Structure formats: C-alpha cells, structure tokens
C-alpha cells in the first residue's frame, strides 16, 4: 500500500541503503543522487516507517505522557506545554489517562515501553517500588513525586501551602480544615507537612478524598461540622465542590468559611465567588519534563518550580 524504501530504491535505480542514508545521513550521499532520491520519494509519497526505524535504532522520537485524569482542568495546560516543547525537539507526545487506577497506569506504562523513548509520569498513583521496577524498561521523568535517583519536576507545594496558611492566619483564622487528596499522593503529603510546621494553627484533617468536585462535595458537611472557619483544599476541583456543598447548606463563602484551592484552573476563575488558590506552574512543568527526559541519560536531576498564592474572592476575615 504505502510506499516503502524499496519502492523508492527501485524507482531511481539505487540500493535501499542509499535511500536510507538520504534521509538519515544526507552528507554521506552524493548531492546529485540525493536529489534524485528525494524526487522519487516525493513522487511516491514515501515517508519512513517509524516503527521499523525504531526496531533498529532503538529510538522512536515519541514520548508518552501519563496523567491520572484528563478531565481535571489542571492537566491540559501541562499536556499542551509538553506537546509544544516536544514538537520543537522533533518529538511527539502521546497522552494516556489512567482513570486514577494504578493497574491501568501500570498496563499503560508497559504498553508504552518500546513504543516511546521515555515516559512522563504525572502525579503517579503507583508505589515507588513499582515505579523503580518499571524504570528498568523505559526512562521516566516523574512530575510531582520524588523518587530517589529519578529525574523529577516538582512544584513547590509546601511553599504554596505555607503561603496559603499564612494568608488565612493573617485574616484571623485559627481553626483550619485540611482536605487532602487520594492515597499515595505526594502533593497531599507535602501539604500536610507544611501545615504541621506552621505554628499557631489548629488543624483538622480530612482524607483521603477523591481529587474531584465530587470529593469536595462529599466532605462539605463534615468540614462545616468541625468548626473550622477556613479550609485548604487538595485542589481547585475539590475546593469548588466544597463551595458548592457549603452553598447547599446555606453557608456563605467567604462570609462564614474561607476556602483556598490549589492549581489555579479556569473554572476556579469563572466561579462565583472567584477562587483564591495557589497557582501551580503547570506549563513550566510540562516544558521542563520534556527537556529533562531528552537530556537525562537517566541521571536524576530534580527541578523544583515555585508556586504563588493568588488571592481572589473565596477568602475573607474570620468571623469574630
């Protein structure tokens, strides 16, 4: 069906190796021959079969990007940034979604092995041990997870959480609810760690929770009942769910309870009240992850990106 290297070779009376070299090492072939080959290839609509090429070279010029949930608006900007960056490096990025299921995640990684040159693992749910084992088969860059000796792009969640808590403290809040994410989430741990280190607060923990609007909705009643006047949510989706749930109970945000999210996603900006949140450098992270994968001969460089508090309308003075 599609033209192969042989067809091109036959068409202009040279050996296949010459055609091959025309594409992968042009300086090794006579300019005259080269243009003959190019012309023939163009005429036949020839494009090298990347799978076959990968078989001998071991390089596919593809990379995989695995995320837990494409529906979470946090990921798309990261994905787009990674794809754009990769495109500039002559690479393509294939995205896959695990539905928050570690088994699917593992299966996906195994599928990617040998079809890509490396995998960007975004907020993985797999255990460290499993990730280390899989890393023997395909290079990883991990985003938002710290694993010994593995290249990683981290967002400074602890710093952001600290900023958020200080902001709340400054508004007079003392009893603060911490609504965490799913089990095994590095981000959750970082948040809790930062909170525990911040003095003078009376913290109440809730978790694990689904990292979605539904998750926030589900804990809204408990949060309301615990007597906290402010809550720091695992991410914006959870925060939005919380606000929704509180609204259903006629608890005003920020009049009665202040809410801070994480990520800075679009729906948070459109929401009423507009969400106060810790902005995560998703775009920069996507770019960095690609570069790290391409550079790393497997060495475990770690890049940490700063976060920033964005104060909007969902936080206010504590009730006196």
Partner DNA sequence: TTTAGTCTGGCAACCGTTTGCAAGGGAGGA
Partner DNA sequence: TCCTCCCTTGCAAACGGTTGCCAGACTAAA
Q: Which stretches of the chain bind its own copies, using CB under 8 A?
A: 1-2, 47, 49-52, 54-55, 60, 62, 70-71, 73, 75-77, 79-80, 83-84, 87, 92-97, 99, 104, 108, 110-111, 113-115, 136-137, 213, 240, 244, 266-267, 270-272
- Shortest reach from residue 35's CB to DNA, in Å: 11
- Shortest reach from residue 64's CB to DNA, in Å: 18
Pairwise CA distance, residues 76 & 251, whole Å: 32
- Shortest reach from residue 300's CB to DNA, in Å: 26
55 or 183, CB closer to its own copies? 55
Q: Which of 35, 42, 43, 52 binds DNA (CB under 7 A)?
A: 52
Mask: binding to DNA, 54-73, rule CB under 7 A, as x and -?
A: -xxx----------------
Kindly state the tokens that stand for 245: 């749930």
Q: At what angle do helices 16-24 and 31-44 cross, to 10 degrees?
A: 100
Q: What H or E segment, with its residue span, contains residue 95? A: strand 92-97
Residue 20 site contact among its own copies, DNA, none (CB < 5 to 8 Å, cut-off depends on kind): DNA
28 binds DNA (CB under 7 A): yes
Residue 251 site contact among DNA, its own copies, none (CB < 5 to 8 Å, cut-off depends on kind): none
Residue reference for tokens 């299966």:
107
Which range binds DNA by CB under 7 A, 42-50, 164-172, 234-242, 251-259?
Answer: 42-50
Q: Which of 35, 42, 43, 49 binds DNA (CB under 7 A)?
A: 49
Backbone angles phi, psi at 220, to 5 degrees: -55, -45
CA neighbor of 91 nearest in space, from 63, 64, 56, 49: 63
Residue 29 site contact among its own copies, DNA, none (CB < 5 to 8 Å, cut-off depends on kind): DNA
Residue 87 site contact among DNA, its own copies, none (CB < 5 to 8 Å, cut-off depends on kind): its own copies
- Shortest reach from residue 48's CB to DNA, in Å: 4
- Burial label for 233, CB within 10 Å (0-12, 13-18, 19+), is buried
User: How far, rounded to the nearest angstrom, does the alpha carbon of residue 189 sit from its chain's CA centroid?
Assistant: 17
Residue 17 site contact among its own copies, DNA, none (CB < 5 to 8 Å, cut-off depends on kind): DNA
Pairwise CA distance, residues 153 & 305, whole Å: 8
Helix or strand or coil: residue 84?
helix
Pairwise CA distance, residues 51 & 82, whole Å: 22
Q: Which of 32, 199, 250, 320 binds DNA (CB under 7 A)?
A: 32
190 or 264, CB closer to its own copies? 264
14 or 168, CB closer to DNA? 14
Partners of residue 263 on adjacent β-strands = 279
CB-based contacts of 102-109 (< 8 A; 24+ apart in sequence)? 102/126, 102/127, 102/130, 105/66, 105/68, 106/130, 106/134, 108/64, 108/66, 109/64, 109/66, 109/134, 109/138
Pairwise CA distance, residues 80 & 78, whole Å: 5
Pairwise CA distance, residues 112 & 102, whole Å: 15
44 binds DNA (CB under 7 A): no
Residue 6 site contact among DNA, its own copies, none (CB < 5 to 8 Å, cut-off depends on kind): DNA
- Shortest reach from residue 295's CB to its own copies, in Å: 20
Size of site (CB under 7 A) for DNA? 30
Residues that bind DNA (CB under 7 A): 4-6, 13-18, 20-21, 23-25, 28-34, 46-49, 52-53, 55-57
């Amino acid at each position: 069906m599609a033209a192969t290297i042989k067809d091109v070779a036959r068409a202009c009376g040279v050996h296949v190796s010459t055609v091959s070299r025309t594409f992968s090492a042009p300086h090794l072939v006579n300019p005259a021959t080269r243009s003959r080959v190019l012309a023939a290839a163009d005429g036949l609509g020839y494009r090298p079969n990347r799978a076959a090429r990968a078989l001998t070279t071991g390089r596919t010029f593809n990379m995989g990007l695995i995320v837990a949930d494409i529906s979470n608006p946090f990921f798309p900007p990261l994905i787009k940034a990674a794809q754009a960056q990769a495109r500039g490096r002559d690479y393509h990025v294939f995205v896959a979604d695990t539905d928050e299921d570690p088994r699917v995640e593992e299966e996906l990684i195994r599928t990617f092995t040998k079809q890509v040159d490396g995998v960007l693992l975004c907020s993985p749910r797999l255990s460290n041990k499993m990730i280390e084992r899989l890393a023997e088969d395909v290079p990883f860059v991990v985003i938002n997870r710290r694993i010994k000796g593995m290249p990683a792009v981290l967002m400074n969640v602890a710093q952001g959480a600290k900023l958020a808590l200080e902001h709340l403290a400054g508004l007079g809040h003392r009893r603060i609810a911490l609504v965490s994410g799913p089990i095994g989430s590095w981000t959750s741990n970082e948040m809790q760690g930062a909170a525990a280190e911040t003095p003078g607060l009376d913290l109440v923990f809730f978790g694990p929770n689904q990292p979605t609007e539904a998750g926030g909705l589900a804990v809204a009643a408990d949060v309301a009942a615990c007597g906290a006047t402010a809550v720091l949510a695992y991410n914006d989706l959870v925060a939005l769910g919380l606000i929704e749930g509180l609204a259903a109970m006629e608890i005003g945000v920020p009049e009665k309870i202040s809410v801070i999210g994480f990520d800075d996603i679009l729906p948070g900006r459109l929401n009423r009240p507009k969400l106060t949140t810790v902005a995560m450098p998703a775009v920069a992270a996507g770019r960095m992850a690609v570069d790290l994968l391409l550079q790393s001969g497997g060495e475990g460089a770690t890049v940490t990106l700063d976060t920033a508090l964005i104060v909007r309308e969902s936080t206010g003075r504590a009730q006196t």
